[in-house]
Chains A and B, each alone.
Chain A
Amino acid sequence: MTKMVEYPSGAIVPERDIGYRPVLEALHLGIDFGGLTAVDDFNLIVGKTEIAGLIGPNGAGKTTVFNLLTKVYQPTRGTILLDGQDTSKMTTVDANRAGIARTFQNIRLFNNLSVEDNVKVAMSKDFSYTTLGGILRLPRYYRQEEEAHQKALELLRIFDMQDLAETAAGNLPYGAQRRLEIVRALATKPKLLLLDEPAAGMNPVETEELMNNIRKIRDDFKIAVMLIEHDMKLVMGICEGIAVLNYGRIIAKGTPEQIRCNPTVIEAYLGSNREV
């Protein structure tokens, strides 16, 4: 069990991440859609190599938080610091280049591209040849394409998907599509990986395997992972810090044990006037 340490501000991070800049500092983040406040006063610190969980009932605003962090939505208020860099005003593209990558709740793969190409698309940081260089097939093209090929296979090996490299992404089974999304996000060399319901539709065996893989990714790539998940076994099993969202606000933060016994959280999930 990871030992969590409290910052003076009240935020907690794993002990091993003390002394490093947190990968994510979200400060008073909020967004309104018309008159409706979807997320408000969202404050969260994620440690450099933490596995963090974001949970909450349906419609609590979890995916909206992901959309804010990846700049799909422009926040109405607040600041996002990614490894100290202010990404609040960036585009999705620049936020990704700054070091945040994600998967999607409703899978968004490049269905007509092969599995390998899906990964390569995300590897723009590994390429430096230009459009013209690609058309003229300059030496750099061959060198970098070969490197990219090897690297893509290596990344696919995390989920043992290297043999599927030639398959069209749209033809993959559901579980494999979810895993490919993770590989693709990893290919952008993120500092923080956001996973939106990674275990959705997986059976217990697959979920178990996924948990191990998430830990392995954190250890191998030395990155932080933040995930939205409804599968409490997964959340309680791998998350070190958990934030609970309800009606767009964080109602509790803490370690899995703290969250499990938090009366506010129980109330949010099960309702207050529970009759037995």
Chain B
Amino acid sequence: MTFLQFLITGLSLGSVYAIIALGYTMVYGIAKMLNFAHGDIIMVGAYLAYFAMGKYNLPALVAVMISVLVCTLLGVVVERLAYKPLRKVSSLSVLITAIGVSYLLQNGAQLLWSSAPKMFTSIIPPNTIRLFDGQLTITHLSIFTIVVTLAIMIALTLFVNNSKMGKAMRACSEDKDTARLMGINVDTTISVTFAIGSGLAAIAAVLYASAYQSISPTLGSMPGIKAFTAAVFGGIGSMPGAFLGGLLLGVIETLVKGYLTTQLSDAFVFGILIIILLVKPNGLLGHKYSEKV
């Protein structure tokens, strides 16, 4: 029964990772860049929801919508101002720029909202469902998180596979120049991808903050790295991979914490990542690209 308990907790944590990882992987797939500032968008999203709910007493749903909207906008603005001018140069320059953006958001948040952690009230009342005579407790938040993630995954898959913009995204991630020749507006497509990724980050932010009930300017860095790991785990650039990677990472982390050690859980998670990459160098569901000689 404890195993089931850990599994559900893990799936719920993994769901949050999966949402962030989806954003990571979409941005990577299309812009071929490691968006180091992605984690900090999460942080901004959490603060926005916090202020909307705590300060202006808006209902949770409105708060989430505001958070998503502003983060989407932030993502697009960052892409346009900082990343777009660097699209043709080396990805290392973009990486450094993303690090700069990350520093900027983190320290900006510190300046505006102070580095002291703030109490975040969960958007879902802390009720639980008890099963098997109370041996298994599931919080409403866990269920909500898992359901939301599933919905996002389904919606996103439908969008990418069926909509015109989705097709444009796939075309751009294959070959931007050819896509442009086929009449696809590459700039718009990339902006939309950043918008979706950042919007997802805001949703993940609210769920994550609801689970931990505390937010600080460095909140985003750890889930950011974990989600990045999850995306690589599943095969970076692959959406089902990110989803699977996120869930697996959450479950593994929770199981290690529950059964083995809390202190070394990160070492285990990252150790398993390394082993997976050695066995499958392109991640669980990633494609292999070989250079033509």
Contacts and interface: CB of A to CB of B under 8 A. Distances in A.
Per the CB under 8 Å rule, do A and B touch in the complex?
A: yes
B17 to A, nearest CB: 34
User: Which secondary structure characterizes the binding site on chain B?
Assistant: loop
A72 interface: yes
Contacts of A67: 293
Contacts of B293: 63, 67, 72, 104
A47 B68 CA distance: 72
Interface in B259-293: 293
A249 B293 CA distance: 20
Nearest to A64: B293
B97 to A, nearest CB: 23
A80 B78 CA distance: 56
Nearest to A67: B293
Contacts of A63: 293
A231 B186 CA distance: 40
B291 to A, nearest CB: 10
A164 B137 CA distance: 76
B290 to A, nearest CB: 10
Nearest to B292: A106
A203 to B, nearest CB: 27
B47 to A, nearest CB: 45
A104 B291 CA distance: 13
A67 B290 CA distance: 14
Interface string B233-251: 0000000000000000000
A72 B293 CA distance: 8
A251 to B, nearest CB: 24
A113 to B, nearest CB: 19
Interface in B157-197: none
A86 to B, nearest CB: 22
A31 to B, nearest CB: 13
A104 B293 CA distance: 8
Interface in B88-111: none
A72 B291 CA distance: 11
Nearest to A73: B293
Interface in A87-111: 104
A116 to B, nearest CB: 25
A67 B293 CA distance: 8
B228 to A, nearest CB: 30
A63 B293 CA distance: 8
B217 to A, nearest CB: 41
Interface in B133-156: none
B3 to A, nearest CB: 41
Nearest to A196: B293
Contacts of A72: 293
Nearest to A104: B293
A146 B293 CA distance: 34
A71 to B, nearest CB: 11
A122 to B, nearest CB: 17
Nearest to A108: B293
A173 to B, nearest CB: 23
A67 B292 CA distance: 10
Nearest to A63: B293
Contacts of A104: 293
Interface string A45-73: 00000000000000000010001000010
B59 to A, nearest CB: 56
A58 to B, nearest CB: 14
4 contacts: A63-B293, A67-B293, A72-B293, A104-B293
4 shortest A-B CB distances, which residue pairs?
A72-B293, A67-B293, A104-B293, A63-B293
Interface of B: 293
